[in-house]
């Protein structure tokens, strides 16, 4: 479980750090003339490319230091490079933002670090990188391996069962960044665990402690089992887990509460429901004091807790529970049952549908999204914007010009539209503003995201190449302007942090 979603969790407040000059450090700072030799001398290195002024780098610093100290005894080195001093070195490794973390297994084997940026997560991730995809276990090493991480998997197989061993090895190669994988052919160990080969036992430091997969070894079935069994019955939504829940592919039930005691009480009360819907709906508490603003994204009040809502993460639909009702296993049980049966309509946050469309750009709101964007007879280019976004404001006149060009010849075939994604629910994954997508006629389930320069000429080309009607118009002659770079987007978390005093999802 990894990766990121549309309105992501804002970072927690940066903590004060002790500079390397004031305290010993287990993080090695490298320069251009020392980097290559160090990488060649050490088999596994995690390198951070940073800038001293970078806020995210400052927040990472104490976590990185702690991880370096923990990993020191395992001979896994953590290094850092100051890109304000070593510009050529950072450019060599394609550093475009800070901090950038890369894993080096020698100078020619380089992969991006894709784990979380907390000490425990860095440590866990790098230990996984240091081990083979599957660790061979025996009676002496099994017990220690079981508790080597929050979640580990051990396959109990027969050495002659080539098919099962190959399936397991293939899964381990794909998921090695997420989990530790071990295996043993010792029948006595399998018997001691109460399983018959072939079987997989997932050991975990929470809930019931372990789960067993005893069906025929099938990659899809084992991956599904692993994702379900490794997710806590009632977890916690926070900076380290949000993207995991969003990428799980199943709905997420939020339990908002302001105190740890209340979150525990409600979480324990709803555990029977979490067990009943395990693998179908994830349940998690969320700190309403720190992240109460996210309640608004789920169409709940942001000042009244506790509260409950379900988010259909794939379609980004929100199902808020009546704020006036008490949260009990009975009331929530009935709500979740109705949700599962499709008896509840999603709540839709929407501005009023415009009585008339003024200007060439069609204004879309939550309640008109399906009628306009998903109109299967038209190619629809839509901009997802935020009112505070500077890049969106810079794009506006060009977008108006673009829309005007399609106004006559293609008015019944091509729609140029925009939606304020902060004031309206949209079923799309939006990671930054502006985001531009084309929904071709006849292929609404396969939208194409625009990533080129935001010039009228390039947008025309994009519509022609990806739309059903291959519509082509000619840009009017205008004064030459500097295009906005395709990478110039403003994320919700970064800009919203300037205008609010709370952290948001």
Instruction: Name the token pair of 267.
Output: 């979480």
Catalytic: which of 237, 293, 380, 389? 389
**CA pair distance 152, 337, nearest whole angstrom:** 32
**CA pair distance 86, 147, nearest whole angstrom:** 41
**CA pair distance 10, 55, nearest whole angstrom:** 13
Catalytic: which of 167, 295, 392, 496? 392
Active site annotation includes 57:
yes
Catalytic: which of 4, 54, 110, 441? 54
Q: Distance of alpha carbon 179 from its chain centroid, rounded?
A: 17
3-state secondary structure of 252: strand
Active site annotation includes 392:
yes
Strands 77-82, 28-29: pairing kind:
parallel
Bridge partners of 47, per DSSP, are 79, 102
Q: At what angle do helices 55-72 and 119-130 cross, to 10 degrees?
A: 50
Active site annotation includes 389:
yes
Query: Phi and psi for 216 in degrees, rounded to 5?
Result: -60, 140
DSSP letters, 395-428, are: HHHHHHHHHHHTTTTTTTTEEEEEEETTTS--SS
Distant-in-sequence contacts of 29-36, Cβ < 8 A, 24+ apart: 29/79, 29/80, 29/81, 29/82, 30/79, 30/80, 30/81, 31/81, 31/85, 31/86, 31/89, 32/86, 32/88, 32/89, 35/81, 35/89, 36/107
DSSP 8-class letter at 485: P
Catalytic: which of 9, 30, 47, 57? 57
Residue 48, classified by CB atoms within 10 Å of its CB into exposed (0-12), middle (13-18) or buried (19+), is buried
For 98-109, b/e burial (b = at least 16 CB within 10 A) is bbbbbbbeeeee
Omega of the bond prior to 306 within 30 degrees of 0, cis? yes
Number of Cβ atoms within 10 Å of the Cβ of 162 = 10
Q: Which amino acids are annotated catalytic?
A: 54, 57, 389, 392
């Amino acid at each position: 479980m990894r990766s990121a979603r549309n309105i992501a969790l804002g970072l927690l407040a940066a903590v004060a750090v002790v500079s390397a000059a004031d305290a010993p450090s287990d993080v090695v700072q490298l320069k251009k003339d020392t980097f290559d030799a160090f990488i060649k001398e050490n088999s596994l290195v995690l390198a951070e490319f940073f800038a001293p002024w970078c806020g995210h780098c400052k927040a990472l610093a104490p976590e990185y230091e702690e991880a370096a100290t923990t990993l020191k005894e395992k001979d896994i080195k953590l290094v850092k490079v100051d890109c304000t001093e070593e510009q050529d070195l950072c450019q060599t490794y394609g550093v475009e933002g800070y901090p950038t973390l890369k894993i080096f297994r020698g100078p020619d084997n380089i992969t991006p670090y894709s784990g979380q940026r907390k000490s425990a997560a860095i440590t866990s991730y790098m230990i996984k990188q240091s081990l083979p995809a599957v660790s061979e276990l025996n009676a002496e090493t099994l017990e220690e391996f079981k508790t080597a991480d929050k979640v580990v998997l051990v396959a109990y197989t027969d050495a002659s069962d080539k098919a099962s061993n190959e399936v397991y090895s293939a899964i381990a190669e794909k998921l090695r960044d997420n989990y530790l994988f071990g295996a043993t052919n010792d029948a006595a160990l399998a018997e001691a665990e109460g399983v018959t080969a072939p079987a997989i036992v997932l050991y975990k430091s929470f809930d019931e402690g372990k789960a067993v997969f005893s069906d025929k070894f099938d990659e899809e079935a084992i991956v599904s089992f692993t994702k379900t069994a490794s997710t806590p019955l009632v977890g916690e939504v926070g900076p380290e887990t949000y993207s995991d829940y969003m990428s799980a592919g199943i709905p997420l039930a939020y339990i908002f509460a302001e105190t740890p005691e209340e979150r525990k009480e409600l979480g324990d009360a709803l555990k029977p429901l979490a067990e009943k819907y395990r693998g179908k709906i994830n349940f998690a508490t969320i700190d309403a004091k720190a992240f109460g603003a996210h309640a608004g994204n789920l169409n709940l009040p942001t000042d009244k807790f506790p509260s409950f809502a379900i988010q259909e993460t794939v379609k980004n639909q929100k199902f808020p529970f009546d704020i006036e009702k008490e949260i009990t296993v009975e009331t929530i049980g009935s709500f979740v049952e109705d949700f599962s049966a499709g008896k509840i309509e999603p709540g839709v946050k929407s501005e009023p549908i415009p009585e008339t469309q003024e200007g060439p750009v069609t204004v879309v709101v939550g309640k008109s999204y399906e009628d306009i964007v998903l109109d299967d007879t038209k190619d629809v280019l839509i901009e997802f914007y935020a009112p505070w976004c500077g890049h969106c404001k810079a794009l506006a006149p060009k977008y108006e010009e673009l829309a005007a060009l399609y106004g006559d010849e293609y008015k019944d075939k091509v729609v140029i539209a925009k939606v304020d994604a902060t004031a309206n629910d949209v079923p799309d994954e939006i990671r930054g503003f502006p985001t531009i997508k084309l929904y071709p006629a006849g292929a609404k389930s396969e939208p194409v995201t625009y990533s080129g320069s935001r010039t009228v000429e390039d947008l025309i080309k994009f519509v022609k190449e990806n739309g059903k009607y291959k519509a082509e118009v000619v840009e009017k002659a205008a004064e030459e302007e500097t295009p906005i770079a395709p990478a110039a987007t403003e994320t919700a978390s970064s800009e919203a942090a300037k205008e609010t005093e709370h952290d948001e999802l």
